[in-house]
Structure 1
Amino acid sequence: MREKSDGPQGRRRGQGELEGQVLAALGAASGPVTAGWVQERIGGGIAYTTVMTILTRLQAKGAVARERVGRSFEWTAVADEAGLAAWRMRKVLDGEADRQAVLASFVTALPPGDELLLRELLEQAAAEGED
């Protein structure tokens, strides 16, 4: 995937960075917003058509929803901030060839408190799955 320029400074965006910015803007919104609203929030000289492309791609991935209002759409994030962060983590994980190695590396790099929390959450999820 080719990286996009970030306006006059010419800084290049990393893969997925623009999607992350769009998701963050939607997550910060108090309700459904237009693509123009998102464009204003992320700034950096991003074209309206680029914002629309990102929103449409995120909708296809199930990360955002849209509703027709008049002749345009209003967009909302499907999840709260924590859910959006989890979605981004899954997206990164899905992009890797060796899922087991990535997960193992992730878990071993966690601080002890986070590792314990993760274990507790996995046990809780397993118990709920048994119900």
Structure 2
Amino acid sequence: MTATDGERRPAGELEASVLAALWAAGRPQSAAQVRSAMPQPLARTTVATLLARLHEKGVVGRSPGTRGFVYFPVEDSHGLTARRMHRELDQDGDRSTVLARFVEGLSPEDETELRRLLGESGQ
């Protein structure tokens, strides 16, 4: 059974698809425009609901359009990933241990890059 046969899609799949459509457009889009750019066959109201939820989460901004709102991403995909990482870090009371475990799991290449970035920010 596929998601189009009534099975629920994985959490975040549709939001990711909405964001991909907004990033690809490169300019503010209405719910109808986002819907037409998405690979999934969804109702405009479903896309409007997804956009409203993303706006509530602070992931997309919106401004008045001709009819309703037009939406735009507030960050690129890398910024969004960084925001998620910060949110996860903020949910644990022992930041030092979380950061230590994170660094322990880095590949040598990622560790080198992190050291380089930290060196640049300290100058």
Fold-level match, TM-score > 0.5? yes
Q: Which moved more, 1:63-72 or 1:40-49?
A: 40-49
Q: When the two structures are superposed, what TM-score results if normalisation uses the length of structure 1?
A: 0.71
Task: Name the CA shift for 1:48/1:98 in 2 (closer, same or farther; >3 Å).
Answer: farther
Q: Give the C-alpha shift of residue 80 in structure 1.
A: 2.2
Q: Within 2, Cα distance between the matches of 1:99 and 1:46? A: 42
Structure 1 residue 73 and structure 2 residue 69: aligned?
yes
CA contact 1:7–1:46 (8 Å) conserved in 2: no
Q: Within 1, Cα distance between the matches of 2:35 and 2:102? A: 33
Q: When the two structures are superposed, what TM-score results if normalisation uses the length of structure 2?
A: 0.74
Structure 1 residue 47 and structure 2 residue 61: aligned?
no
Task: Name the CA shift for 1:102/1:7 in 2 (closer, same or farther; >3 Å).
Answer: farther
Q: Give the C-alpha shift of residue 13 in structure 1.
A: 1.7
SS in 2 for 1:65: strand
Q: Letter of the 1:63 partner, please give it.
A: V
SS in 1 for 2:62: strand
Structure 1 residue 7 and structure 2 residue 4: aligned?
yes
Q: Within 2, Cα distance between the matches of 1:90 and 1:83? A: 11
Gaps of 5+ in 1: none
Structure 1 residue 119 and structure 2 residue 115: aligned?
yes
Q: Give the C-alpha shift of residue 73 in structure 1.
A: 1.2
Aligned Cα RMSD in Å? 2.8
Q: Within 2, Cα distance between the matches of 1:99 and 1:29? A: 40
CA contact 1:96–1:102 (8 Å) conserved in 2: no
Task: Name the CA shift for 1:90/1:113 in 2 (closer, same or farther; >3 Å).
Answer: same
Task: Name the CA shift for 1:90/1:13 in 2 (closer, same or farther; >3 Å).
Answer: farther
1:38-96: CA deviation from partner (whole Å, max 9, x where unpaired): 112223222222211111111112111111112221111111232233234445x2696
